[in-house]
Structure 1
Amino acid sequence: MKRIFPIFIMFLCFGLCLNCASVKVTEQNIHRQWMLVSYKDFSKEELTNSKAEINFTKISDANKIAGTAFMGCNRMFFNAEIKSKKRIEISGLGSTLMACEKMELESQFSRDFEKMQNFVIEGHFLTLYDEKGNKVKFIAADWD
Structure 2
Amino acid sequence: MLISFDGFSKEQLVAHKAEMNLTASMVDNKIQGNAYMGCNQMSFVSEFKKGGKVKISTGVSTMKACQDMNLETSFQKKIETMTKYSIEGHFLTLSDDRGNTMKFVAADWD
TM bucket, shorter chain: over 0.9
> Following the alignment from structure 1 to structure 2, what is the Cα–Cα distance between the partners of residues 90 and 41?
22
Report what 1:119 is aligned to.
85
CA distance in 2, matches of 1:97, 1:104: 14
Q: Whose helix fraction is larger, Structure 1's or Structure 2's?
A: 1
Q: Which amino acid aligns with 1:73?
A: C
State the aligned residue count: 109
Q: 1:140 to 1:87 in 2, by over 3 A?
A: same
Instruction: Name the CA distance, whole Å, in 2 between partners of 1:40 and 1:91.
Output: 20
Letter in 2 for 1:137: K
TM-score under structure 2 length normalisation = 0.93
Structure 1 gaps, min length 5: 1-34
Q: Secondary structure at the match of 2:65?
A: coil
Matching of residues 56-71 of structure 1 within 5 Å: 56=22, 57-61=24-28, 63-71=29-37
Counterpart CA distance in 2 for 1:73 and 1:99 is: 8
Which structure is higher in strand share?
A: 2
The CA RMSD over aligned residues, in Å, is 1.3
Find the aligned partners of 1:60 and 1:94 in 2 and give their Cα distance. Answer: 18
Partner Cα distance (2:62, 2:31) in 1: 19
TM-score (norm 1): 0.72
Of structures 1 and 2, the one with the larger relative CO (CA 8 A, separation 6+) is 2
Question: What is the percent sequence identity of the aligned residues?
Answer: 51
| Structure 2 counterparts to residues 16-55 of structure 1, below 5 A | 35-55=1-21
Instruction: Give the number of the structure whose alpha-carbon radius of gyration is greater.
Output: 1
Residue in 2 that maps onto 1:31 = none
Match of 1:74 in 2: 40
